Amino acid sequence: MSRKIYDVVVVGAGILGLATAREIHARQPGLSLAVLEKEPAVGRHQSGHNSGVLHAGVYYAPGSLKARLCVQGKVLMERFAEEHGIAVDRCGKLVIAVREDELPRLEELERRARANGVPGVRMLGPRELREVEPHATGLRALYSPGTGIIDFSAVTRAMAEELVQDDVELHHGAEVRAIRSGGDHTVVETSAGEFATRRVISCAGLHADRVARMDGEPEVATMPFRGDYYTLVPEARRLCRGLIYPVPDPSLPFLGVHFTKRHDGEVWAGPNAVLATRREGYRRSDVDLRDLWETVRHPGFVPLARRWWRTGAQEVWRDVVKAAFVRDLRAYVPEIRSDQLVFGPSGVRAQAVAADGRLVDDFTFATTPTSLHVLNAPSPAATASLAIAGHVVDTAEAALGLAELRSTPGSRQTGPRRAHG
* CATH at 190: 3.50.50.60
Percentage of the chain surpassing pLDDT 90? 85
User: By residue range, what is the domain housing residue 237?
Assistant: 223-357
Spatial CB neighbours of 285, under 8 Å, sequence gap ≥ 6: none
**Cβ atoms of residues 267 and 234 within 8 Å:** no
Q: Provide φ and ψ at 124, rounded to 5°.
A: -120, 145
First to last CA, the chain: 36
Average pLDDT in the 181-210 region?
94
Coil, strand or helix at 391: helix
Q: Is the pLDDT of residue 421 over 50?
A: no
Using the 8-state DSSP alphabet, how is residue 298 labeled?
Answer: S
The pLDDT confidence band at residue 218, using thresholds 50, 70 and 90, is: low
Domain boundary among the residues 319, 342, 357 is at 357
The pLDDT confidence band at residue 240, using thresholds 50, 70 and 90, is: very high
Are residue 180 and residue 42 in the same domain, yes or no? yes
pLDDT value, residue 216: 87
**Cis previous bond, 218, omega within 30:** no
Query: What sign for the dihedral angle of Cα 126, 128, 129, 135?
Result: positive
Q: Distance between CA 230 and CA 360 in Å, rounded? A: 28
Are residue 370 and residue 346 in the same domain, yes or no? no
Are residue 206 and residue 304 in the same domain, yes or no? no
Are residue 300 and residue 364 in the same domain, yes or no? no
**How many angstroms from the chain centroid is the CA of residue 165?**
26
pTM exceeding 0.85: yes
Domain boundary among the residues 341, 357, 373 is at 357
Q: Distance between CA 170 and CA 161 in Å, rounded? A: 10
Are residue 233 and residue 333 in the same domain, yes or no? yes
pLDDT value, residue 253: 62
Q: Is the pLDDT of residue 299 over 90?
A: yes
For the chain, give the mean pLDDT: 92
The region that residue 415 occupies, defined by phi over 0 for left and psi between -120 and 50 for alpha, beta otherwise, is left
Domain boundary among the residues 128, 145, 162 is at 145
pLDDT value, residue 411: 45
Are residue 314 and residue 241 in the same domain, yes or no? yes
Are residue 105 and residue 160 in the same domain, yes or no? no
Query: What sign for the dihedral angle of Cα 316, 353, 49, 73?
Result: positive
Are residue 116 and residue 199 in the same domain, yes or no? no
Are residue 288 and residue 407 in the same domain, yes or no? no
Q: Distance between CA 19 and CA 159 in Å, rounded? A: 7
Are residue 236 and residue 199 in the same domain, yes or no? no
Q: Is the pLDDT of residue 419 over 90?
A: no
Q: Distance between CA 308 and CA 357 in Å, rounded? A: 10
Are residue 189 and residue 63 in the same domain, yes or no? yes
Average pLDDT in the 175-193 region?
93
The pLDDT confidence band at residue 255, using thresholds 50, 70 and 90, is: confident
**Cβ atoms of residues 356 and 302 within 8 Å:** no
Q: Distance between CA 95 and CA 273 in Å, rounded? A: 19
Q: What residues are paired with 197 via a beta bridge?
A: 6, 186
Q: Provide φ and ψ at 221, rounded to 5°.
A: -100, 145
Q: Distance between CA 66 and CA 106 in Å, rounded? A: 19
Average pLDDT in the 15-33 region?
97
Are residue 236 and residue 380 in the same domain, yes or no? no
Report how many domains make up the chain.
3
